[in-house]
Amino acid sequence: MPSFTVDQRYCGPPGCANGGYFAGLLARHSTDLVRVRIEKPIPLQVELDVRSDANGTLELLHDGAVLARAQPWLSPFDLAVPPAPDYLQALDASLRFTGFAHHPFPRCFVCGTERARGDGLRIFAGALSGHDHVAATWAPDESLSDGDGKVRPEFMSAALDCPGYVAARSDGVPMLLGEYSVHVDRCVHIDEPCIVIGWRIAVRGRVYEVGTALYDYDGDLCARARAVWIEPRPVAAVRPV
């Protein structure tokens, strides 16, 4: 049975894997485009087993418990993607990242404000002027490559994660990534200036469906993702006796 370990560098919330990065790792064990459903927090620095069945479904297990499932898409990956803003517009939007004032997870690998260059991705998505979506810039560093000069697919997946969270809710309310699917058209090159956007698709109560897309400097589409974010139920207040 194949396995992998999520290094502590790639955290999202404290002690847990960043959802986009983890989903990219799991997806690499399938030859199909998959929909990853995260059922429990993904721990760091422990061996995680990957089990597959005859239908192509993957299960991720730790100590016998299923943490996530990845199922092949049974239909085309249909996602209407907005055109890319230009690089300077995206850079301007990133200055409005709400996490600069308050960040629920400042050590997040993708959008953490406490992560240095060359450590975190530092993708800070903010409101794009004149649009309903958010945008950011990104310049991938050498640590994200296998040595071939291109960003590995799991880091492409990671880069598309947090901008979707900001598109769903811009007020910093903690949410959980429930489902995630990524289509990589091409892996960008190290140090290549990139643009990332996120937008809402639908809202159903505490459930937010969003799309994200990653473009190169010229605005050519390189990857896109569809995600479901879930706002946890509020904890009931305990009345004093």
Residue at 237 is within a domain: no
Residue 182 and residue 34 in contact, taking contact as beta carbons nearer than 8 Å: no
- Considering the domain architecture, whether residues 57 and 152 belong to the same structural domain is answered as no
- Structural domain that includes position 173: 87-230
Query: Which phi-psi region, left, alpha or beta, contains residue 8 (left: φ > 0; alpha: ψ -120 to 50)?
Result: alpha
Gap between the Cα atoms of 51 and 30, Å rounded: 11
Gap between the Cα atoms of 214 and 223, Å rounded: 5
Residue 165 and residue 173 in contact, taking contact as beta carbons nearer than 8 Å: no
Residue at 236 is within a domain: no
Q: Whole-number mean pLDDT of the chain? A: 94
Q: Which has more confidence, 161 or 1? A: 161
The tokens 């995206």 sit on which residue? Answer: 90
Summarize pLDDT for 187-235 with one digit per residue, the tens. 999 999 999 999 999 999 999 999 999 999 999 999 999 999 999 877 5
CATH number for the domain spanning 215: value is 3.10.129.10
Residue-level pLDDT at 54? 86
pTM attached to this predicted model: 0.93
- Considering the domain architecture, whether residues 50 and 99 belong to the same structural domain is answered as no
Residue at 150 is within a domain: yes
Res. 30: pLDDT tops 90: yes
Summarize pLDDT for 88-128 with one digit per residue, the tens. 999 999 999 999 999 989 999 999 999 999 999 999 999 99
Q: Is 89 exposed, middle or buried (0-12, 13-18, 19+ CB in 10 A)?
A: middle
- Considering the domain architecture, whether residues 178 and 150 belong to the same structural domain is answered as yes
Residue at 239 is within a domain: no
What percent of the chain is helix, strand and coil (3-state, nearest 5)? 15, 35, 50
Please choose, from the candidates 129, 197, 116, the residue with its C-alpha nearest in 3D space to the C-alpha of residue 162.
Answer: 197
Q: Which helix (H) or strand (E) holds 87?
A: helix 87-94
Residue-level pLDDT at 237? 45
Query: Average of pLDDT values for 130-138?
Result: 95
Number of domains in the chain: 2
- Considering the domain architecture, whether residues 20 and 55 belong to the same structural domain is answered as yes
